[in-house]
């Protein structure tokens, strides 16, 4: 999962392009409702593809502000545009310092390349 800070205490999250490519065609999303409080790395939903059902985890602690209803209605958006129209959840970040410990996109790409390919 990725998170893109939108302000000091808000961020938008989704799954990475690598993750969606490994999952294949996404057919169903189940996400926590707005108002739900979550702790870092806790389950925040499920994503179902033609290959598997996978848990989704939040990269930071906070509260669900909004879910992407367009992606719920058309899960293929996640395959087509995981960093744009296929985002999943907007969060109020309760512990912004948790963002500092996460990988940036270059670190993630290097990790995936070294670990899985």
**pLDDT score of 42:** 95
Q: How many domains does the chain have?
A: 1
In this structure, what CATH number is given to the domain that contains residue 31? Answer: 2.40.50.100
Structure token digits, residue 9: 């205490």
Nearest to 5, CA basis, from 57, 46, 55, 59: 59
CB 63 within 8 A of CB 92: yes
Domain that residue 110 falls in: 2-116
Report the predicted TM-score, pTM, of the whole model to 2 decimal places: 0.84
pLDDT at 108: 66
Length of the chain: 117
Q: What is the pLDDT along the chain (117 residues), one digit of tens a residue?
A: 889 889 889 999 999 998 898 899 999 999 999 999 999 999 999 999 988 899 999 999 999 999 999 999 999 999 999 999 999 999 999 998 887 777 677 766 777 677 765
């Amino acid at each position: 999962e990725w998170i893109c800070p939108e302000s000091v205490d808000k961020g938008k999250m989704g799954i990475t392009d690598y993750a969606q490519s490994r999952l294949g065609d996404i057919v169903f999303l189940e996400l926590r409702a707005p108002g739900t409080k979550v702790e870092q790395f806790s389950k925040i939903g499920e994503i179902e593809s033609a290959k598997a059902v996978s848990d989704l985890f939040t990269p930071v602690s906070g509260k669900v502000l909004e879910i992407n209803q367009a992606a719920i209605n058309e899960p293929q958006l996640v395959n087509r545009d995981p960093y744009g129209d296929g985002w999943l959840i907007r969060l109020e970040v309760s512990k912004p310092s948790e963002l500092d410990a996460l990988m940036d996109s270059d670190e993630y790409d290097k990790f995936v390349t070294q670990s899985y390919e």
